[in-house]
């Protein structure tokens, strides 16, 4: 408080009036440090926090934790006009100077730091970055992204992406291309996906995450608070950009034996997620407690795999985790502990080998061949954790998948996506099952026309459950040509250059069981 001395007469009244005006002007400018400067500009400071939930057995937690929105872009706005742009710090704090006509702040679920570029998009093409507006006020601003509005979920996802991208750079020294996630409440409701480059040729890659049914967050599946799921999908992006891809995609339900390439890609994406999180718990929630549930709740250090071995997604994740866990993380005392960095770098090296079409056994063989682990220690670890050694670590040169076939050779086999349960165990899976897919690898040494024929024992018709499909793919599992008739012979011809190719014989999709003979011939140029 300022106390005015009593001064008599006209002079005193003048003095008191002038001092009163000074105090009035000072009061209109606000207290010391208020965000309005005398030069007509405005200084704005504060902190952005977002609400996060954690997994429980009854869905995402009712309990909410406030976390800082780290290194996200924001702007000082005048209506829809961007005045000045900035970025929050590691604590979610922001400070920016701009014109006095500023009316608000706009925070974007986007981070561009340390060479990373990751954003949450409110449309499938990635054109619109999710943003949240906040009004200006006097003094330090406390801005909170609420879960009820969906803003918190967007900032949670982008923070998880940053955590994963930082881990990749730490482990490999690599910085990945721009990536965005399409996530919005009521958006994607089928599943969460890695979509690859979108749009094609843009150099920008896309994920999609479940957004649940509109207005039904408490009881439907939405993945913005499932960090293991977010990082699993990011793991597909990491592996695609740094290593290889030996999966044709499709469903991979727990407790089923699936195509070994699909098992490898799905299992190592889960391993990546848990390696980033630094804990062996893979959890996927549905809804919010107490109305929700936990779709997946796995502890990789505890709990058997019902169908271990080649074709088991769980085996892939568990074995990779055991290879990488060290110190206090190694609760099952498997005797290994390379750490995640050597494992990811080994995957990169394995992918660079000629003809590499990876699966868990081929990767384990690579580790032994390069001296990363000894065969004895790996055999001991697999035995200790209940994994089949003969299936996952066969002798060098005797890998069971893919099967090598030469031009001019014939191979016979039997596809079975019909028998229930499947011959190898678990439910039958006509599209992605272990018994419903056979994979061959062929090395072409000269340019020419490659002819592939599939002779089916039976009519080849879906009505008779003998409908089989023939596919020619490259080493990244991308489809080159296929034959999908309902005839007893499926055939394709394609001009090829020297290199490695994948031939797949598959269930036609509706549940089929048939013996077959596969023939490969070539006319060279």
Burial (0-12, 13-18, 19+ Cβ within 10 Å), 470: buried
Q: How far is CA 313 from the centre of its chain?
A: 16
DSSP string for residues in 2-64: -PPP---HHHHHHHHHHHHHHHHHHHHT-STT-S--TTSEEEEEEEEEEEE--EETTEE-SS-
User: What pLDDT is attached to residue 512?
Assistant: 98
Query: Cα dist. 383→271, 343, 380, 398, 480 in Å?
Result: 20, 20, 5, 20, 40
Asked if 430 and 484 touch (Cβ cutoff 8 Å), the reply is no
User: What pLDDT is attached to residue 34?
Assistant: 33
Asked if 509 and 427 touch (Cβ cutoff 8 Å), the reply is no
**b/e per residue 208-233 (b: at least 16 CB within 10 A):** bbbbbeeeebbebbbbbbbbbbbbbb
Neighbours of 111 (CB within 10 A): 24
User: What pLDDT is attached to residue 7?
Assistant: 37
- CA angle 340–341–344, rounded 5-degree value: 85
Q: What sections of 104-222 are H helices per DSSP?
A: 151-172
Which position has the token pair 């048939």? Answer: 514
One digit per residue, the tens of pLDDT, for the chain of length 525 reads 333 333 344 434 433 443 343 333 333 333 323 344 445 788 999 999 999 999 999 999 999 999 999 999 999 999 999 999 999 999 999 999 999 999 999 999 999 999 999 999 999 999 999 999 999 988 999 999 999 999 999 999 999 999 999 999 999 999 999 999 999 988 888 889 999 999 999 999 999 999 988 888 889 999 999 999 999 999 999 999 999 999 999 998 888 999 999 999 999 999 999 999 999 999 999 999 999 999 999 998 887 788 999 999 999 999 999 999 876 566 656 668 899 999 999 999 999 999 999 999 999 999 999 999 999 999 999 998 899 999 999 999 899 999 999 999 999 999 999 999 999 999 999 999 999 999 999 999 999 999 999 999 999 999 999 999 999 999 999 999 999 999 999 999 999 999 999 999 999 999 999 999 999 999 998
User: What pLDDT is attached to residue 327?
Assistant: 60
Domains, the chain, in order of start with CATH, read 403-524 (2.60.120.380)
User: What pLDDT is attached to residue 26?
Assistant: 38
The residue count for the chain: 525
Which position has the token pair 């609400």? Answer: 51
User: What pLDDT is attached to residue 304?
Assistant: 75
Whole-model pTM: value is 0.90
Pairwise CA distance, residues 66 & 133, whole Å: 18
For 366-373, the CB contacts below 8 A with 24+ separation are 367/323, 368/393, 369/396, 370/346, 372/338, 372/342, 372/346, 373/323, 373/336, 373/338
* Pick from 495, 510, 507: nearest CA to 437: 507
């Amino acid at each position: 408080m300022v106390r005015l001395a009593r001064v008599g007469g006209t002079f005193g009244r003048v003095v008191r009036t002038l001092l009163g005006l000074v105090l009035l002007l000072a009061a209109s400018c606000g207290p010391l440090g208020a965000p309005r400067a005398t030069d007509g500009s405005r200084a704005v400071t504060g902190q952005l926090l977002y609400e996060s939930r954690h997994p429980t057995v009854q869905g995402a937690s009712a309990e909410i934790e406030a976390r800082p929105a780290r290194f996200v872009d924001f702007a000082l706005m005048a209506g829809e006009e961007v005045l000045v742009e900035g970025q929050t710090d590691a604590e979610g704090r922001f400070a920016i100077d701009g014109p006095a006509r500023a009316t608000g702040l706009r925070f974007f679920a986007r981070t561009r730091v340390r060479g990373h570029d990751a954003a949450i998009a409110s449309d499938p093409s990635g054109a619109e970055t999710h943003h949240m507006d906040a009004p200006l006020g006097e003094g330090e601003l406390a801005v909170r992204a609420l879960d009820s509005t969906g803003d918190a979920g967007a900032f949670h996802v982008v923070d998880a992406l940053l955590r994963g991208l930082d881990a990749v750079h730490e482990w490999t020294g690599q910085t990945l291309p721009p990536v965005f996630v399409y996530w919005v409440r009521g958006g994607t409701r089928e599943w969460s996906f890695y979509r690859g480059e979108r749009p094609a040729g843009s150099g920008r890659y896309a994920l999609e995450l479940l957004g649940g049914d509109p207005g039904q967050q408490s009881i439907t599946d939405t993945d913005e608070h499932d960090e293991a799921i977010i990082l699993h999908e990011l793991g597909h992006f990491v592996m695609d950009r740094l290593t290889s891809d030996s999966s044709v995609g499709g469903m991979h339900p727990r407790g089923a034996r699936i195509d070994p390439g699909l098992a490898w890609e799905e299992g190592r994406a889960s391993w990546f997620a848990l390696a980033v999180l630094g804990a062996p718990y893979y959890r996927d929630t549905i809804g919010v407690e107490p109305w929700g549930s936990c779709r997946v709740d796995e502890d990789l250090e505890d709990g058997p795999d019902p169908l271990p071995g080649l074709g088991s997604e769980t085996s892939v994740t568990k074995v990779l985790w055991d290879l990488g866990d060290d110190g206090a993380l190694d609760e099952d005392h498997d005797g290994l502990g390379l750490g995640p960095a050597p494992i990811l770098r080994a995957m990169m090296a394995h992918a660079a080998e000629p003809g590499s079409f990876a699966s868990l056994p081929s990767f384990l063989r690579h580790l032994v061949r390069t001296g990363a682990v000894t065969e004895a220690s790996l055999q001991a670890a697999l035995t200790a954790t209940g994994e089949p050694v003969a299936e996952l670590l066969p002798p060098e040169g005797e890998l069971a998948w893919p099967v090598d076939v030469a031009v001019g050779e014939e191979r016979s086999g039997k596809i079975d996506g019909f028998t229930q349960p499947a011959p190898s165990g678990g439910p039958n899976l006509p599209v992605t099952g272990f018994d419903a897919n056979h994979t061959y690898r062929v090395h072409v040494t000269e340019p020419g026309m490659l002819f592939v024929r599939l002779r089916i024992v039976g009519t080849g018709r879906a009505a008779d459950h003998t409908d089989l499909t023939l596919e020619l793919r490259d080493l990244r599992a991308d489809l080159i040509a296929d034959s999908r008739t309902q005839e007893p012979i499926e055939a394709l011809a394609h001009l090829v250059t020297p290199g490695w190719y994948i031939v797949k014989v598959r269930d036609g999709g509706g549940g089929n069981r048939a013996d077959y003979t596969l023939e490969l011939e070539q006319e060279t140029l």
